[in-house]
């Protein structure tokens, strides 16, 4: 059985909570190794991530790993969050630099994810397994690909245990990235991040923002289907599943699905993988 993990985002109202609950009930039987919960940055949204982590652990019995971001406030606020997560029973953290939310004028006290990883290690030793992010197609704000590689190595040197990639649709980009990090002396697992496709225009928007390339042949095929949502979903599930198969055959340790709190697109890919 393919080892998988899932990403959810914290719901902010009753309707979103019901949606997440339905999604989790459908995907939980797939026995994910863990589920991660993205970081609600800025003001009151800060509380949504811990609430969601608590619910996933207590109501669904899942190993929930909160995202922690450099944008999460001061050293004292992050210290408090880490203590809360430890009290909830969390043994895994996803440590990210994060993006400055719109309307926020300043960064937190940590500038880079490597600083955050070092802080978690100083505060809690080996209690948490620390996952970090990485970019097979290069971080959109990196000076260049080699600088991006150096930033990634700094996170590993600071104490990261494994990495989850930004999503991509080109398996060769993943394999090349793994070769590059191994050549740089990095031995931690690099887990491919998988984006099941439910909505092409939304995907295009996300991809422009995060620097993920949609291969021209995929984009052209999805454009050709026009408003035929069913055909887009079927084609997308086939294409993403074929890539997953290739990744696993090429040695990927597991697959991390960006669910967008939807069950169907992830289920469609997993059912094709068998």
How many angstroms separate the Cα of 61 from the Cα of each of 9, 80, 93, 156, 235?
Answer: 17, 24, 17, 30, 33
Query: Hey, which bits of 82-139 come out as E strands?
Result: 92-96, 129-134
CA dihedral 6, 11, 15, 17 (to 10 degrees): 60
Report the chain's terminal Cα–Cα distance, integer Å.
8
Annotated catalytic sites, by residue?
Answer: 7
CA-nearest of 98, 165, 95 to 131 is: 95
133 touches 113 (CB < 8 A): yes
Contacts of 4 (CB under 8 A, 6+ apart): 30, 32, 33, 254, 255, 256, 257, 270
Alpha carbon 211 to its chain centroid, in Å, reads: 15
CB-based contacts of 139, cutoff 8 Å, min separation 6: 148, 151, 166, 211
Tell me which residue has tokens 């019901």.
18
């Amino acid at each position: 059985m393919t080892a998988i993990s899932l990403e959810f985002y914290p719901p902010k109202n009753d309707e979103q909570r019901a949606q997440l609950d339905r999604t989790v009930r459908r995907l939980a039987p797939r026995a994910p190794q863990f589920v991660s919960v993205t970081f609600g940055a800025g003001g009151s949204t800060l509380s949504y991530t811990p609430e969601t982590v608590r619910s996933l652990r207590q109501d669904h019995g899942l190993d929930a790993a909160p995202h922690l971001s450099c944008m999460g406030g001061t050293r004292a606020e992050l210290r408090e969050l880490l203590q809360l997560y430890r009290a909830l029973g969390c043994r895994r953290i996803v440590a990210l630099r994060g993006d400055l939310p719109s309307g926020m004028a300043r960064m937190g006290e940590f500038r880079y994810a490597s600083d955050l990883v070092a802080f978690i290690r100083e505060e809690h030793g080996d209690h948490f397994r620390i996952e970090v992010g990485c970019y097979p197609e290069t971080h959109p704000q990196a000076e260049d690909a080699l600088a991006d590689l150096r930033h990634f190595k700094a996170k590993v040197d600071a104490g990261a245990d494994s990495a989850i990639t930004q999503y991509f649709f080109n398996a060769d980009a993943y394999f090349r990235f793994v070769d590059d990090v191994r050549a740089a002396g990095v031995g931690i697992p690099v887990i491919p991040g998988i984006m099941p496709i439910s909505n092409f225009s939304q995907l295009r928007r996300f991809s422009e923002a995060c620097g993920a390339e949609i291969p021209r042949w995929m984009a052209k095929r999805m454009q050709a289907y026009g408003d035929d949502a069913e055909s887009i979903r079927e084609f997308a599930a086939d294409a993403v599943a074929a890539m997953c198969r290739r990744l696993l055959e090429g040695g990927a340790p597991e697959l991390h699905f960006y669910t967008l709190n939807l069950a169907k697109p992830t289920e469609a890919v997993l059912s094709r993988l068998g």
